[in-house]
Structure 1
């Protein structure tokens, strides 16, 4: 059986790392795993031309949301032996789920592997934006000492309204981490969680109210037909003047050019996140040079601790596949010819 994985190339690190499993060489220690089972394992750092020769005979395809390979219907049609598409991480929108369902290809991901890491990253970026950390850091590096220039755009988080769009595992953890800052927490999600509202100190509001009343909005929703460019020019125009947005979910939830224009016009006070569209983001992506931003590359969910959780979860899913055992329901996105994940079934 041939298994193909798309992962980042090996790079020389500035100093030794205690782990770093996320590349074609380490590959979450899957080389040893598949060798012990007698399967052929091919790792690629390019999902375009280099994948083509392997489509005809690959049985399992593995990639990650941080370095996604877009498995389109056209590629699926040229992969007659494909039985499983596995996301080593969380978020499978880079696979054509309907095409996978039509072909009875199982789609699975390592649910929960990144929730702590992404929640911490989101809280960090909220604070970075409000405190104008980037401006202060640039002065430290550039030899400046212009305090008014930084302080004129710095705010306390205390007393602000923070809107959480998407209240699943990550959104809930963001709420728990923000509550000690004495903020007003509101959330919107297709599934209201009244059982958690008192515990986490959150209030359920409509999407429109969240957009129009939040000082900072943090996005934790999957990319679906309903959320694709949901934060378009109209929605961005209805945010509060000088509001902030953090997006560690998926870049395509935001309308690319509309975001740039909102920041340039001064309507939004700042934007941060680590998700882009497409990924990897090209060097000339407009978000790289837009003002008032604190973007990072997509690494919020790939701390060394998260990478170890991904390794363990990926191997567990593969074990179940090879042994003919049922997968954990929470890990399944497509199974038995149907999209079974509630996140991707939202209408």
Structure 2
């Protein structure tokens, strides 16, 4: 649950806005030469020299994007950073700085926000990014987190969504569907807890998929791998809303079609077994689940030899002429039109 009811609680009113900022950010150290000035002035000063700057932002709202009944605040801080860094890596860029803004209701004492910032701090250290500013304010509707990430890349390295060509290979990093199934496990245990608060869930069999939901990792390592392999994707996007949705984004932006092969979609064994347990179709989960934060990209066929056999990368299809449309080629070799049924933050609650 959110907090131990007996632990010390320090009212945020005691610190005031600037005292709170100083307290929460005291452990953050500058790690990038491009950060000339971080926290502590009216604005941060960055110097990217001959590099191009990349900027992205995301807003996470309690009750819409996260549920604190099973999302530890430290994990939430970490994940909120990952969501943003993933978008920078999807541009084939390196993330360098973040700003963090939060709005918290009076049910959150200082100790709760310290937990949140402990996760943010771990993410900045692990991924080598600097916290350079942000804002704090009060909220009447729980917790809101807005993070902006900045990054840099040389112009020739930056990869957009609109560069895919017919016959390009469609490649994905890692495996898919785990985050969605981790969410199903957590939601199920939440319902059990409501009925019997003394019941302690055994999440050990689901550790991989629960971690995919609570503590995802952005694929900075894949940006480095592609650079080391001397492969520049023709188009790239991160998988936040589901594989089918992201493929259709690439198709629309690049004005191409696609053939995605069901049998090629990478699934972890724990995903397959959890799908059986929940009576879900694993392909549907991989296509529509979302929150995997893997990278989906296209490459010229001439680069295939450089990536083949790499355990981190899977060729799952190829791009076609726009007139051919986007299709899933089933295991039975049936062509099924690809539709986006992934995460939509404006869907009504179920």
Q: Which has the higher contact order (CA 8 A, sep 6+)?
A: 2
Fold in common (TM above 0.5) = no
Please give the TM-score of this superposition, normalised by the length of structure 2: 0.24
Please give the TM-score of this superposition, normalised by the length of structure 1: 0.24
| Greater fraction strand | 2
